[in-house]
Amino acid sequence: MLREFRDFIARGNVIDLAVGIIIGATFTAIVSSLVEDIVNPLLGLIIGGIDFSELSFGLRDAQFMYGNFINAIIKFLITAWVVFLLVKAVNRMRSFRRQPEPEPVVQVPKGPTTEELLTEIRDALRAR
């Protein structure tokens, strides 16, 4: 069982997944800072100085912070866009690296056409 566990951990996929999770967590902090420190102030200037994180309304004892929800949507859209661009760039780099060599065109010698074969058969039958 320990050997199986070691083999499982040593697989490239598991290590790649762990690296992806760590980078993803760090990337989340970068995107959060981008949205909170750059995008939100710009949007606030455009729409009149509104800070989304402060948007809320209350109903009895409950406070609904819908501004935080708007921030989460912005973070998601930015993250999705950046991941899309990264995947597109990686796929482009892979296609440059792995361009298949063109296969040589093999010229197959042409044989007789159907009409020529039928003519030969006809002539052979006549000669009989």
Nearest Cα neighbor of 15 from 26, 6, 3, 28 is 6
What are the DSSP E strand ranges found in 53-123?
Answer: 57-59, 62-64
Architecture of domain 2-103: Orthogonal Bundle (1.10)
Name residues of the chain where pLDDT drops below 50: none
What are the DSSP E strand ranges found in 11-125?
Answer: 57-59, 62-64
pLDDT at residue number 4: 83
pLDDT at residue number 33: 81
pTM of the model: 0.46
pLDDT at residue number 126: 92
